[in-house]
Homo-oligomer: A and B are copies of this chain.
Amino acid sequence: MIAGTPQPPYFAAIFSSQRTDGEHGYGAMAERMVELAKSQPGFLGVESARDAEGFGITVSYWRDEAAIAAWKAVGEHAVARRLGREQWYAAFRLRVCRVEREYGQGPA
């Protein structure tokens, strides 16, 4: 679902990943991380899509870089990231960026 976000500037964390084969508890943890992120200060929204070949992009939106840093420091999130590196992802990339402008059409 498209996230409704405020007027730029704000920040985005683009997480691109290729899943390994097998579930290994991934689905439950991914859902939990979305719920946990939503409860963090400065969280603005999240969008996520993964295709049939296991390639996925999740973009989370944040008020500022401090909010992203605080989210990174949450203990349960750190545990999930470690499991991600060890088990769930054959490869991943995290890019932190500043959203400068946006436009669109239809419901967010």
Contacts and interface: CB of A to CB of B under 8 A. Distances in A.
A14 to B, nearest CB: 6
Chain A interface helix/strand/loop/mixed: strand
Interface of A: 1-3, 5, 8, 12, 14, 16-18, 47-52, 55-57, 59, 65, 85, 89-108
Q: In the complex this chain forms, how many copies of it are found? A: 2
Contacts of A12: 14, 95, 97
Contact of A49 (B56, B99, B107): B56
A104 B90 CA distance: 11
B94 A106 contact: no
Nearest to A17: B2
A100 B92 contact: no
